[in-house]
Chains A and B, each alone.
Chain A
Amino acid sequence: MAVAISAGVVGAAVCAAFVYAAGPGRDPDDQLVDPGSIDRTQRALSAAEQPAMQLLQRAVDASRDVFYAGTKVLTSPTSSAYVDIWHVPGRGTTSKVESGSLDSDTPSGQLEGDPVDDGLDDLVLATLTHGYSLAVMGDADCVGRSTSVVEARSLSTHQLAAKLWLDDATGLLLRRQLFDDAGHIVRSTSYVDIKVGSAAARNPDSANPPSPDGGSPPVGKKTTAPAMTVPAAKLLTDAQVSQLRAQGWPLPDVLPGGMQRYEAYELTDASGPVIQLSFSNGLFSSSLFVQHGQLDVRNLRGVHPEQLGDASVYASSGLYRTLTWAGGDTVYTLVSDAPASVADSAVTALPHRAPDTSVLGRIGRGIARVASWVNPFD
């Protein structure tokens, strides 16, 4: 009898090996295999590109150093919004949604701290040169001001990717158009009215901007609290991101479309820690939110189910493309202003299969666990 049972155990092991080799329960994409690496070096620019890069660097400085106020219109193929903006050097930027498809009965706004020069600008401009060539195409008027027009074209396809209107007087970016691979405008940002310097403080349409002297906003101007609970964000260093990755967090440094991570945050949410990774290719930007757990699709608001290849996601399209999906025991949420094809390609590049709960899946996963118990090297 003992011989018979031994033979049965051996037979079970052989059959189990076949089941395991079939792979239904191994969840091979539970973990991110290769997070990629960030390239911070700027491509050697040609002589024709140098003036365009100088204009862009001037625009970065101007967005911090110039006092300005105005109204911007943001448009995407399906949405638009008018936003009032005030910027006070040293204090930050306040924005308020005025009207459009994003209009609300209670306009909301928030004061953002002035970005500090921590190398972010250099990284984003370097990333821009990885995928695009630059050129100054000439002069043009924009909201009554003289501007220089800079074009960015794809290095691989030479397709127009962006047109930028840069104020000759201040260097500010007044208008921006972004294109997809088919040449269609996928996002446009343009001032319809702008005042700079002391004129901004006298602008009757923006009578109550934050005080340029650093004081509190004048009485009557209400900077409303966020209308939803936004988790507190803690900036993470690259070393901390690597440490989290070693602990099992699937945190990529690059995404399809030439996207490189430029920042990482840890958010504190009711369901546990959430890691936010911010990406940019110099023109478009994406944010990836990673959290452990099983995706609860009940009462999931603002998104609807879609099928992207072999991935089941919950998505929405508007001013931003939003995607939520499960990969292994992790839930991912991507918010991006990039073309849908670029945003969607991140799903297939990341784990996108929920845990296999079938019998074969359980057997395969169980074999892996039992094998790990007896494997002295595991």
Chain B
Amino acid sequence: MSSPASERHLGELAAAVTDGVLGHQARERALVHLAGCPACRAEVEAQRRLKLMLSGLGGPEAPMSLADRLRAIPDASPNHDNNDDDDSGYGGPAGLSLPQVRMQASFRDTGTGRPSRGPRSSRRHTVIVGATGGFAAFAVSLGVVAIAGAPEQTEMVRPPVMAYTVEHSRSAGLLPGGDPALNLDPAAFDSRGGR
């Protein structure tokens, strides 16, 4: 149940009238009321003046040293640090995430006027150089052992199989009960299918 005073004046609706957010019918009823109520008309007029005054005020100026530091940050992108996803909504004019701003704020200006290189870039450079040198050393080492491991050059041998068969026959012929030594003619051997 509403009080009789609230029925006679706009009350909190005065701010809505000032911001222009009322619907069409509510706005018509409010305007009818304002035509007949000097107190409410004065309230709405006061709020409009206050709004105009606030909108006319400018934003705060950032210090130049802060701007220099921000420009010195390489590859500043919120996507580079997945752990900072929750802070992406804090992006400022340079698009920095909040932790990156905190990190940059801890740097000391060397006063040389030249932007300093970050430790991540330096570390990456060291890794690349190390990997290249290591690979070269690895390749040289493998080359050395491969050369050292070349098969020894030994004489090519073609066993005289038939002569060895005769030798075996002679040796076996000495055994008790052994077969007699046979001097097999290689021509005869070849004629029966020797290759």
Using a CB–CB distance below 8 Å, which chain A residues touch chain B?
Answer: 1, 3-9, 11-13, 15-16, 25, 56, 59-60, 63, 72, 74, 81, 83, 85, 93, 95, 97, 101-106, 108-110, 112, 115, 120-121, 124-125, 164, 173, 176, 189, 224, 226-231, 233, 262-263, 265, 267, 269, 271-272, 276, 278, 280, 285-287, 289, 291-296, 298-304, 316, 319-320, 322, 324, 329, 331, 333, 335-337, 355, 357, 359, 361-370
Whether the Cβ atoms of B163 and A229 lie closer than 8 Å is yes
Which of B150, B174, B183 interacts with A115 by CB under 8 Å? Answer: B174
Tell me if B194 is interfacial: C-beta within 8 Å of chain A. Answer: yes
Which of B144, B156, B174 interacts with A294 by CB under 8 Å? Answer: B156
Across chains A and B, the number of contacting residue pairs, with CB separation under 8 Å, is: 262
Output the least CB separation between B179 and chain A (Å): 5
Tell me if B72 is interfacial: C-beta within 8 Å of chain A. Answer: no
A316 to B148 alpha-carbon distance, docked (Å): 38
Tell me if B42 is interfacial: C-beta within 8 Å of chain A. Answer: no
**Which of B1-9, B51-59, B91-99, B185-193 forms part of the interface with chain A?**
B185-193
**Which of B23-31, B77-85, B130-138 forms part of the interface with chain A?**
B130-138
A226 to B183 alpha-carbon distance, docked (Å): 7
A125 to B175 alpha-carbon distance, docked (Å): 10
Chain B contact surface mostly: helix
Contacts of B138 in A (CB 8 A): 8-9, 11-12, 15
Write the chain B residue with the least CB distance to A64: B176
Whether the Cβ atoms of A93 and B192 lie closer than 8 Å is no
Write the chain B residue with the least CB distance to A2: B133
Contacts of B194 in A (CB 8 A): 301-302, 316
A123 to B160 alpha-carbon distance, docked (Å): 29
Contact flags (1/0) for B163-195 with A, using CB distance below 8 Å?
Answer: 111111111111111111111111111101011
Tell me if B151 is interfacial: C-beta within 8 Å of chain A. Answer: yes
Contacts of A322 in B (CB 8 A): 161, 164-165
Tell me if B110 is interfacial: C-beta within 8 Å of chain A. Answer: no
Tell me if B141 is interfacial: C-beta within 8 Å of chain A. Answer: yes
Output the least CB separation between A117 and chain B (Å): 11
Which of A276, A292, A335, A364 interacts with B149 by CB under 8 Å? Answer: A364
Output the least CB separation between A176 and chain B (Å): 6
A299 to B158 alpha-carbon distance, docked (Å): 8
> Counting chain A CB atoms within 10 Å of each CB, which of B138, B140, B144, B192 scores highest?
B138
Output the least CB separation between B166 and chain A (Å): 5
Whether the Cβ atoms of B172 and A370 lie closer than 8 Å is no
Which of B146, B160, B162, B165 interacts with A362 by CB under 8 Å? Answer: B146
Whether the Cβ atoms of A230 and B163 lie closer than 8 Å is yes
Whether the Cβ atoms of B159 and A331 lie closer than 8 Å is yes
Whether the Cβ atoms of B180 and A227 lie closer than 8 Å is no
Whether the Cβ atoms of B177 and A173 lie closer than 8 Å is yes
Using a CB–CB distance below 8 Å, which chain B residues touch chain A?
Answer: 129-138, 140-142, 144-152, 154-190, 192, 194-195
Whether the Cβ atoms of A370 and B145 lie closer than 8 Å is yes
Output the least CB separation between B130 and chain A (Å): 4
A333 to B160 alpha-carbon distance, docked (Å): 9
Contacts of A329 in B (CB 8 A): 152, 154
Which of A25, A333, A370 interacts with B164 by CB under 8 Å? Answer: A333
Which of B178, B181, B187 interacts with A227 by CB under 8 Å? Answer: B187
Whether the Cβ atoms of B149 and A293 lie closer than 8 Å is no
Nearest 3 CB-CB pairings of A with B: A366-B149, A8-B134, A8-B137
Output the least CB separation between A12 and chain B (Å): 4
A11 to B136 alpha-carbon distance, docked (Å): 11
A357 to B153 alpha-carbon distance, docked (Å): 12
Whether the Cβ atoms of B195 and A97 lie closer than 8 Å is no
- Given the known inter-chain contacts A8-B138, A366-B148, please indicate yes or no for A112 contacting B181, CB distance below 8 A: yes
